């Protein structure tokens, strides 16, 4: 898949790579990137060859330094902007991707950058990564889920401190708060991300996807409802495995006769 203006998509050995590719703009999220991500995420969701996805940023300075305010703050009327947003709901698409999403984060991870990362399932940060949601310092608020995903990840108090003061986090702070899963040297960031992705890709994909679904959906349920969901998904995975083994046995039997 090619032809995108602001991202690069590639897939190798079951791993899909989505690279934010505006390094001259610190990979700032603009309207074209919104459209490109919308298209690629839709394709990835339906691509059984892609078992895991890694998000990364091109260049040495940033994963994504936030929204391109030169575009978003000069957008058309709020009514038109809201309609465009509805038609290109990137954040809904990110939530709907059944494959595990891994964010490989370096440099600036601000605004929309941290929001993209928060929609990923596993976040691995380089030692040089810095995190922040500076919207309130600009007289606006996060509009891509930051007020909802951040407190769900690091807790209400820490999230409000970042959101209300514009305070930044170092990679070490992000790890301590639970914002990222691991912190690694910059030169090994992609090595670690790819090792993690390949490990996940090597497992039974029905089980992997069901496990992700159980956690993502279950967090918005009561414990009782979550346990019921887990039981249903477990039964579905077990039935699929039995069917798969039965088919393999029949094929083996036919070949031996």
What CATH number has the domain bearing residue 165? 3.90.226.10
Q: Where are the beta strands (DSSP E) in the chain?
A: 7-12, 15-20, 52-57, 62-64, 101-105, 108-110, 122-126, 130-132, 169-170, 182-184
Q: Which of 201, 224, 242 is the last residue of a domain?
A: 201
For residue 240, pLDDT over 80 is answered with no
Find the domain containing 110 and state its range. 7-201
Is 137 a member of any domain? yes
Point out the catalytic residue in the list 135, 194, 213, 230: 135
Query: Active site includes 127?
Result: no
CA distance 184 to 195: 13
Residue holding tokens 């500076």?
134
The pTM of the full predicted model, rounded to 2 decimals, is: 0.86
Same domain, 113 and 212: no
Min mean pLDDT across 22-31, 58-67, 74-83, 90-99 is at 74-83
Point out the catalytic residue in the list 60, 115, 161, 194: 115
CA distance 219 to 226: 7
Within 10 angstroms of residue 225's Cβ, the number of other Cβ atoms is 12
Same domain, 44 and 167: yes
For residue 21, pLDDT over 50 is answered with yes
- The torsion angles phi and psi of 60, rounded to 5 degrees, stand at -100, -10
Give 98-143 pLDDT, tens digit per residue. Answer: 999 999 999 999 999 999 999 999 999 999 999 999 888 888 888 8
Tokens of 36: 């490109």
The pLDDT assigned to 241 comes to: 72
Give 178-191 pLDDT, tens digit per residue. Answer: 999 999 999 999 99
Closest by CA to 118, choosing from 94, 140, 136, is 94
The total of structural domains in the chain comes to: 2
Query: Active site includes 115?
Result: yes
Give 39-77 pLDDT, tens digit per residue. Answer: 999 999 999 999 999 999 999 999 999 888 776 555 555
Same domain, 97 and 24: yes
CA distance 147 to 11: 32
DSSP secondary structure letters along 39-93: HHHHHHHT-TT--EEEEEESSSSEEE--B-HHHHTT-S-HHHHHHHHHHT-HHHH
Same domain, 38 and 121: yes
Same domain, 219 and 195: no
Same domain, 145 and 229: no
Q: Which of 161, 181, 201 is the last residue of a domain?
A: 201
Task: Evaluate whether 77 touches 99 at the Cβ level (below 8 Å).
Answer: no
Residue holding tokens 């490990």?
199
Three-class secondary structure of residue 175 per DSSP? helix
Same domain, 130 and 210: no
């Amino acid at each position: 898949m090619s032809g995108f203006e602001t991202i690069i998509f590639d897939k190798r050995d079951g791993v899909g790579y989505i690279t934010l590719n505006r390094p001259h703009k610190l990979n700032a999220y603009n309207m074209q990137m919104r459209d490109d991500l919308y298209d690629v995420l839709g394709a990835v969701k339906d691509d059984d060859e892609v078992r895991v996805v890694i998000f990364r940023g091109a260049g040495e300075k940033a994963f994504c330094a936030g929204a391109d305010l030169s575009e978003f703050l000069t957008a058309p009327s709020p009514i038109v902007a809201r309609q465009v947003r509805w038609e290109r709901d990137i954040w809904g698409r990110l939530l709907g991707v059944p494959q595990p999403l891994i964010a490989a984060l370096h440099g600036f991870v601000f605004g929309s950058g941290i929001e993209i990362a928060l929609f990923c399932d596993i976040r691995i940060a380089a030692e040089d990564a810095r995190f922040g949601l500076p919207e309130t310092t600009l007289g606006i608020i996060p509009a891509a889920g930051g007020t909802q995903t951040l407190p769900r990840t690091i807790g209400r108090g820490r999230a409000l401190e970042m959101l209300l003061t514009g305070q930044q986090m170092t990679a070490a702070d992000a790890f301590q708060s639970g914002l990222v899963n691991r912190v690694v040297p910059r030169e090994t960031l992609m090595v670690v991300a790819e090792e993690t992705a390949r490990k996940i890709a090597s497992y039974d994909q029905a089980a992997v996807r069901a496990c992700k679904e159980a956690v993502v959906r279950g967090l918005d349920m009561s414990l009782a409802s979550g346990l019921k969901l887990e039981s249903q998904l477990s039964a579905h995975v077990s039935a699929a495995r039995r069917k798969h083994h039965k088919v393999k046995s029949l094929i083996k039997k036919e070949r031996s006769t």
